[in-house]
Structure 1
């Protein structure tokens, strides 16, 4: 859990993923109307943490599960706090709250 907290707090936005997970791929590169990544379109540059490429990935996946991330990946953190999975992020984007979360965490400035 300490490693998750440490990595999640290093940047204003972070995404824990697995390279083989289609939902992870979709949230890392969620396409907006003009074909740019959702996070980058909003002006954020999230840290991407590939659990299957990390020696402690299995332990971190268990820690994510204990936080309530189900499925465990993708798990998105904003401002060091767990905010949800792919469906949550899409919902936050649609209702406009994702942009505000990123502003509040100083991941974006406008």
Structure 2
């Protein structure tokens, strides 16, 4: 399987009208619970793309939400900050099993330590790219 930018799964719409801050928080929390590996990104972020490719190479198809394409993207950013995402290094914001892992530095550190594969093992699809 050739991993590329076009394999991103679009962020599902979980809105009825305009969400307020609280509903955005609940929506983001629900998204992180319902999908094994979630990457919140911006479409222009090359690090988000690199992290997504890493997961795909490890056999996981991450659920990618490009918040700059979401009508309530600013509210989603605020929700991510309330969930513990560092506003200085916001994207990518990676969640595994509903828990915040962090951004590129944390994901790469876990990968180099050999710990990332343990975290994603339940979500490996068996369709690793070569």
TM range (shorter): 0.7 to 0.9
* Superposition pairs of residues 23-42 of structure 1, within 5 angstroms: 23-28=47-52, 37-42=53-58
Distance in 2 between the 1:63 and 1:18 partners? 15
Secondary structure of 2:81's match? helix
Unaligned ranges ≥5, structure 2: 1-24
Deviation at 1:11, TM superposition (A): 1.5
Deviation at 1:20, TM superposition (A): 1.7
- When the two structures are superposed, what TM-score results if normalisation uses the length of structure 1? 0.82
Q: State how many pairs are aligned.
A: 100
Work out which of the residue numbers 78, 84, 89 in structure 1 matches 2:107: 89
Unaligned ranges ≥5, structure 1: 29-36
Deviation at 1:109, TM superposition (A): 6.9
Q: Is the 8 A contact 2:95 2:102 kept in 1?
A: yes
Alignment RMSD (CA, Å): 1.6
The residue number in structure 2 matching 1:8 is 32
The residue number in structure 2 matching 1:98 is 116
Asked if 1:108 is matched to 2:127, the reply is no
The residue number in structure 2 matching 1:53 is 69
- When the two structures are superposed, what TM-score results if normalisation uses the length of structure 2? 0.70
4+ long deviations beyond 4 Å? none
Distance in 2 between the 1:74 and 1:38 partners? 13
Q: CA offsets, 1:47-104, max 9 Å, x none?
A: 000000011111110111122212222100101111111110000100011100012x
